[in-house]
Amino acid sequence: MEKYEQERFTKLQKLRDKGVDPFGGRYDNVQSIQTILEGFAPDRDDIKAKAAGRIMTMRPHGKTVFLDIRDRTGKIQVYIKRDKVGEDTFEISHLLDLGDILGVEGTLFKTRTGEITIFADNITLLSKSLLNPPEKWHGLKDIELRHRQRYVDLFTNQDVMQTFLKRIQIINHIRAFLNERDFVEVETPMMQPIPGGAVARPFITHHNALDIDLYLRIAPELYLKRLLVGGMERVYEINRNFRNEGISTRHNPEFTMMELYQAYSDYNGMMELTEELITSLAMKIQGKYELSFGEITVNMTPPWRRATFCELLKEHSGISYDDEEGLIRKSKESGLETNGISRDNIANTLFEELVEKTLVNPTFVLDYPTSICPLTKTCAHDPRFAQRFELYIASMEVANSYSELNDSIEQDRRLHEQIGTETDITGKIDEDFLTALKYGMPPAGGLGIGIDRLIMLLTNNVSIREVILFPLLKPKQ
């Protein structure tokens, strides 16, 4: 045991010897520190306050102790005077350490330096910290350690705490936005016998009682569409999805998505909804449309640009979608594989390589090749293309939307056509989903928004790990 840890254990025993429970108990009627600070009136000396928080700094001076405590809303100074609290309580204050959680009751006043302070009538130890906080409260800096010990990261780095409080605020706003528009929130299975609704490698698990393999969902799409068939015309789910793929600053194997379906709409209706939702979030969280994101500035001012997949591909590669030889040549020049890959997948990979990085301000990319959109209606003007958009902001895909295919015969054909291709993972078709479609699904618009990436944008965090409380990490050696 390290020296400082041993000193804390010694203080722990001294507290017990004095009859003090070092891990406290119920502590009622606590005010948030923000509320206490906002309630201060300089012309009054009788305002009582009761706070609880973690000790950040301590400054003993003979018969007095100054310390700062912090809760989730802010920090406040506490003044402990021996003559006020009594000898026994004052002795307890000398057994406190940085990181201890303390309850304080007292009267508010302002010091000569202008700091609002609680003049303690009483203090209550609520939890003894047995480990030293990092770097004397300058904050936990080691990035990997911050992610492994998020509990320390949160109480030492206030900007991190604020990011996650904003995350909660963002998700609450999304719920309120959709509820006001008559959407209903639902829950669909996270363990599925057949993974569907996206192209991704699933995680596999096994149910012992039924002796069957199950898959953690890669998307809730096919179950939400079943609800459209059942008559739930506006549904959404803020859901956890799992994809057994790479980890990067923009990918975590477990992530949060908001997916919704609106009967009698299409991808144009989804564009309007998406733009209205995200711009309202920008104003709520940042109070403006211009957002800083790392070293770039993103202008979220509506209306947002709309351009087709083919237009953007030609604009940034110089190659027409119809020029298959040109696409292959350009792909090889860019170091991309082309052997045995279909023209549409070559075009899509080239788009990802050359176009995505240019899409800084919000851009709706419309009308993708139908072959890579098996759940989407085709465009009336050209069936080679599907009524699909992807929304890019800061060179990241943030949202994906379809005019949903509701022709059960065509859907059956496309899913069977996909079997055995590079986009097929399990070689299984969800026959029950096809059965549901045969009963009749209304025409609908569907939308998926990556919540983690959206929060990255709205909180200026360029790594997805900074907006997920407990990101997946490789085990320590």
CATH number of domain containing 87:
2.40.50.140
Counting every residue written for the chain, the total comes to: 477
pLDDT above 60 (res 225): yes
Let me know if residue 342 belongs to a domain. Answer: no
Which of 41-57 are b and which e, b meaning 16 or more Cβ less than 10 Å from the residue's Cβ? eeeeeeeebbbbbbbbe
> 3-state class of 13 per DSSP?
helix
What integer is the mean pLDDT of 326-338?
A: 94
370: in domain: yes
Is the pLDDT confidence value at 137 over 50?
Answer: no
Q: Which residues are bridge partners to 390 per DSSP?
A: 365, 400
Q: Are residues 415 and 269 in the same domain?
A: yes
Q: Which whole number is the average pLDDT over 226-247?
A: 96
Query: How much is the average pLDDT of 6-34?
Result: 96
Same domain, yes or no, for 277 and 170?
A: yes
CA distance 233 to 138: 52
Per-residue confidence at 345, pLDDT binned at 50, 70, 90? very high
- Does residue 81 have a pLDDT over 60? yes
Task: Report percent pLDDT > 70 for the chain.
Answer: 97
Query: Is 320 a member of any domain?
Result: no
Residue 138 lies in a domain: no
Pairing between strand 184-185 and 116-127? unpaired
- Contact at 8 Å (CB) between 192 and 242? no
Strands 191-192 and 184-185: unpaired
Percent of the chain with pLDDT over 90: 88
Q: Residue 426 above 70 pLDDT?
A: no
pLDDT tier at 416, thresholds 50, 70, 90: confident
Average pLDDT over the chain reads: 94
397 is in an annotated binding site: yes
Task: Name the residue type at position 43.
Answer: D
Q: What is the pLDDT of residues 146-173, one digit of tens each?
A: 899 999 999 988 999 999 999 999 999 9
Q: How confident is the model at residue 400 (pLDDT cuts 50, 70, 90)?
A: very high
Give me the sign of the Cα torsion angle 374, 380, 382, 383: positive
Let me know whether 231 and 278 are in one domain: yes
Give the end of a domain, one of 82, 117, 132.
Answer: 132
pLDDT over 60 at 453, yes or no: yes
220 domain-assigned: yes
pLDDT for 198: 85
Reply yes or no on whether the pLDDT at 136 is more than 90.
no
> Residue 423: is its pLDDT beyond 60?
no
Q: Which residue has tokens 């939400």? A: 224
Q: Are residues 204 and 297 in the same domain?
A: yes
H-state helical runs in 18-116: 33-38, 82-85, 87-93
Of the residues 117, 132, 147, the one at which a domain ends: 132
* Same domain assignment for residues 75 and 172: no
pLDDT at residue number 417: 84
Whether 396 contacts 461, CB under 8 Å: no
Residues 26 and 97 in one domain: yes
For the segment 244-265, the average pLDDT, to the nearest whole number, is 95
Give the three-state DSSP class for 381. Answer: coil
Note whether 52 and 177 are same-domain residues.
no
| Whether residue 294 sits in one domain with residue 199 | yes
Q: Is the pLDDT of residue 366 over 50?
A: yes
> In this structure, are residues 298 and 395 in contact, taking their beta carbons and an 8 Å threshold?
no
Answer whether residue 419 is part of any domain.
yes
**Is the per-residue pLDDT at 474 higher than 90?**
no
Q: For the chain, what is the domain count?
A: 2
In this structure, are residues 129 and 8 in contact, taking their beta carbons and an 8 Å threshold? Answer: yes
Same domain for 282 and 391, yes or no, is yes
Q: Please check whether residues 34 and 84 belong to one and the same domain.
A: yes
CA distances from 225 to 21, 164, 198, 388 (A): 55, 31, 14, 16
Confidence of residue 475 (pLDDT cuts 50, 70, 90): confident
If residue 222 lies in a helix (H) or strand (E), which one and from where to where?
A: helix 221-229
| Same structural domain, 128 and 203 | no
Look up the domain containing 255 and give its range. 155-304+361-466
Q: Does 113 lie in the same domain as 31?
A: yes
What does DSSP assign to residue 202? P
Give the whole-angstrom CA distance, residue 56 versus residue 78: 11
Instruction: Please compute the mean of the pLDDT values over residues 7-21 and round it to a whole number.
Output: 96
User: Are the C-beta atoms of 391 and 368 separated by less than 8 Å?
Assistant: no
- For residue 440, what is the domain's CATH number? 3.30.930.10
| 333: in domain | no
Residue 353 has pLDDT above 80, yes or no: yes
Give a yes or no: residue 411 inside a domain.
yes
Q: Give me the mean pLDDT over the 289-298 stretch.
A: 97
311 in a labelled binding site: no
- pLDDT tier at 135, thresholds 50, 70, 90: low
**Number of CB atoms found within 10 A of residue 115's CB:** 13
Q: What is the DSSP string of 87-103?
A: HHHHHHHTT--TT-EEE
DSSP collapsed to 3 states, 152-187: HHHHHCHHHHHHHHHHHHHHHHHHHHHHHCCCEECC
